[in-house]
Structure 1
Amino acid sequence: MRDHVGMRPLDIVVLMKLVSLADKPWQYRDLSASLLISISEISASLHRSMIAGLVDGARKKVMRNALMEFLQYGMRYVFPQIPGPIVNGVETAHSHPFYKNHFTSDVPLVWPSVNGKARGQAIEPLHKGVIKAVENDDQLYLLLASIDILRVGKVREINLALNELKRYIL
């Protein structure tokens, strides 16, 4: 049996992808292709999530209440983030198109990317494949931007992000 070394940031990406799939059937290779994470890493991620109580024993069903509790109370402590230098990138957190309708900011937050069309403070994505993975998955993009708000946001932003996450997760 593998040693449990604790949750990793990519585990959150995998869980958010499962949430975005809702009840659609999936296989490890589907997750691997859409998230740009190897099948073995998908397997290890789901194993860690099972040990943490975030997926069931079969590693197919997300334990939604437990996931929501972890996101709400643990994200900013387990995977904290401090915005970095100004770079080109893909808008995230309160700079995501959905959240722009609710908040204004002098400096956008972005996932660094040479192909990014926005300029703002860098936020490291939970996994390097996120930028490519969200290109064709608007729901995953919104979920991961909401997660970034939990990592770096202010109280009002966090409250809206939690409400959005609850809409999809619970």
Structure 2
Amino acid sequence: MLGSGVVLTYWIFTSSLEVMAIALAVSPGNFSIAAARGPKDSIVKSGALTSQSPPNPASDTASRGLGDGIYLYGQSSKPDEIKKEYFVFELRESKVVGAFYLPRSAFYCFYGTAARNQLNLTVVDTYDGTRSPYSVNLPQYYPIAAISENDRRILGICKEAHKHEVWGK
């Protein structure tokens, strides 16, 4: 039986066919996996973590819901911290498209809907295109005001790749 947290491992195949694993520690309530995936998939549940308290108490913005715009959230209040998870997304009329990433690593696009302080998403595997449902509890992350050019570049790639699923265009 898993504890209150899980570790997600992303497998990234480099051009020399070496494998690099990036383990993302997911604290309780941050992510929930709607369905378990098979061992061939690139996102693998690999163990349990001890219980952690949420890093960020519910903010006024999260309790009111977000308006249309571009947002950056992270496990740290500082952008680009190594081994910290971040996600950038654009919200329009409760529809969302964006990416999860670790600084200096690969990213995974997502699309879905936003409700008050939660994102209900489909995450797309960068390498094989498989899709997995996820739910993100925004108050568990820190909002970050400074959105970098790299954040905008990653967001642009995901917006272009998934505009039909999100906005039908």
With structure 1 as the length reference, what TM-score do the two structures score?
0.28
Which one has the bigger helix percentage? 1
Identify the structure with the greater strand proportion: 2
> Which structure exhibits the higher relative contact order, with contacts defined as CA atoms closer than 8 Å and separated by 6 or more residues?
1
